[in-house]
Structure 1
Amino acid sequence: MKVSAEISAFMERLGHRFESPEILVRALTHSSLGSATRPDNQRLEFLGDRVLGLSMAEALFRADRSASEGLLAPRFNALVRKETCAAVAREVDLGAVLKLGRSEMMSGGRRKEALLGDAMEAVIAAVYLDGGFEVARALVLRLWGARIDTVEHDARDSKTALQEWAQARGMSPPRYETLSREGPDHAPQFRIAVVLDSGESAEAIAGSKRHAEQAAAKALLTRLEAG
């Protein structure tokens, strides 16, 4: 299969030259462009998630032989979550070669975190199918790089940490309230408040509800622990 200059350049950025480039093209094809004759990347995303998971679990297991499961699990979650996959995708400019339908392209699909994260997992699966697990694992370790070494010792997300703080003091779980949503559909801004039984609260603004909730929880937890 002859590949375009853009796909060839992406292979260079990725660091893997495909023996079967058609599998890479499939990994880059979003469901908005998929058809009976042009399969999309959803099945590859499913497989890539598992290849990434095993690669990362093994890397963390070997990196800290004294860490308990309770510490390893949140580190793992921090490294394989969609936001991290999307960040890696941006570093190799995966968005530039995503194959999207017109509606997704018009709504800024090349920049969307979910699309980038899913496609990154699909690309990992493509490398696995093209070169085997050892090649795919090496690619994951190289692309994730320093993230593996610098993941926080206690990588629990802020919402979990705040909930544990509240429960340890006999409080109900924190409540999250959407105060406002502004901006266009492709670039919304959510203003979220988190409130405790005690009346303590904090607010944050971010491009997704999840990010805003995490930021609000972190702000409140930082204030509570400082006091």
Structure 2
Amino acid sequence: MKTLTDWLRSKGFTPDNIQLYYEACTHSSYANEHHSGIDNNERLEFVGDAVLQIWSATALYKLMPKLHEGKMTTIRAQTVCESTLAKLNEQLGWYKFLRLGVGEEKSGGRMRPSILADHFEACIGAIYLDLGYEAAAKILDEYMKPLITAEKPEDVTDYKTQLQEYVQTDNKRTIQYRLLDESGPSNSPTFKMGVFLDDICMGVGESSTKKKAEQKAAREALRKLAI
């Protein structure tokens, strides 16, 4: 299979808007190198993220025995996190269809978790826009639903939600995540995020994405609060 549409046809789907799938598989590095009005997959990533949120919320709501809202929030965050989406992309083989710039390809971007996760979301967004929610949900039911009840490894532990639950009993306390620094080249940046509790910095984390840096900052804050 050479394209995402080939993959979909092999699963019994009939893609219509082929351009959507090319867009879903076009990383910004590729679009930037080909100055001919090519759209990257960031807008479809936005759509796919929304589809994943409603799908996961619905799946969790239907689980038996019933879960309370806090547990649902934690499991959803763990299920749709970057590392899980990246692993699903690898499992499905969608990463093979990703169009990357030369520099990004040489630097290992094709297997970079942040790029794989974003690409997965973009593909789900394209499927939703072209074939509807039922088609996207069918794929997610088959490949993602088993992960909801599976034991979660350390790399998908949702420290941000744990921190929120730790302090939510006091409505006067607020949590904020702030970008403290951004360094490195544009195609491989490093973000330093801080988590602030009532304007006091409780933890700092660095990573290749803001989301992962926030998780590390939340983990550090939880360790301090537990002392």
1:49-198 aligned within 5 A: 49-64=49-64, 66-150=66-150, 157-158=158-159, 161=162
User: What is the Cα deviation at residue 158 of structure 1?
Assistant: 3.6
TM-score normalized by the length of structure 1? 0.66
Note if contact 2:27-2:41 (Cα within 8 Å) is conserved in structure 1: yes
Distance in structure 2 (CA, Å) of the matches to 1:69 and 1:123: 29
- Count of equivalent residues: 218
Note if contact 2:60-2:72 (Cα within 8 Å) is conserved in structure 1: yes
Matched, 1:29 2:30: no
**SS in structure 2 at match of 1:6:** coil
Distance in structure 2 (CA, Å) of the matches to 1:87 and 1:53: 18
User: What is the Cα deviation at residue 86 of structure 1?
Assistant: 1.1
User: What is the Cα deviation at residue 66 of structure 1?
Assistant: 2.5
Distance in structure 1 (CA, Å) of the matches to 2:214 and 2:15: 42
Note if contact 1:86-1:120 (Cα within 8 Å) is conserved in structure 2: yes
User: What is the Cα deviation at residue 126 of structure 1?
Assistant: 1.6
User: What is the Cα deviation at residue 221 of structure 1?
Assistant: 7.7
User: What is the Cα deviation at residue 129 of structure 1?
Assistant: 2.1
**SS in structure 1 at match of 2:66:** coil
Q: Which runs of 5+ in 2 are unaligned?
A: 170-185, 190-206
TM-score normalized by the length of structure 2? 0.66
Taking structure 1 as reference, are residues 127 and 159 closer, same or farther at Cα in structure 2, changes over 3 Å only? Answer: closer
Match of 1:6 among 2, 5, 28: 2
Note if contact 1:18-1:130 (Cα within 8 Å) is conserved in structure 2: no
Q: Which moved more, 1:64-73 or 1:15-24?
A: 15-24
**SS in structure 1 at match of 2:58:** helix
Structure 1 letter corresponding to 2:86? A
User: What is the Cα deviation at residue 220 of structure 1?
Assistant: 11
Distance in structure 2 (CA, Å) of the matches to 1:126 and 1:103: 26
Greater C-alpha Rg: 1
**SS in structure 2 at match of 1:99:** coil
User: What is the Cα deviation at residue 214 of structure 1?
Assistant: 5.6
Distance in structure 2 (CA, Å) of the matches to 1:38 and 1:9: 19
User: What is the Cα deviation at residue 95 of structure 1?
Assistant: 1.9
**SS in structure 2 at match of 1:142:** helix
Q: Which runs of 5+ in 1 are unaligned?
A: 169-184, 189-205
Note if contact 2:89-2:95 (Cα within 8 Å) is conserved in structure 1: yes
Distance in structure 2 (CA, Å) of the matches to 1:217 and 1:46: 24
Distance in structure 1 (CA, Å) of the matches to 2:167 and 2:55: 34
What is the RMSD computed on CA atoms of the aligned residues? 4.5
Q: 1:9-60 CA distances to partner (integer Å, 9 max, x unpaired)?
A: 9606x96455346222221111132654422211111111111111111001
Note if contact 2:4-2:97 (Cα within 8 Å) is conserved in structure 1: no
User: What is the Cα deviation at residue 163 of structure 1?
Assistant: 7.8
Distance in structure 1 (CA, Å) of the matches to 2:39 and 2:213: 35
Seq. identity, %: 32
Taking structure 1 as reference, are residues 123 and 8 closer, same or farther at Cα in structure 2, changes over 3 Å only? Answer: closer
User: What is the Cα deviation at residue 65 of structure 1?
Assistant: 5.6
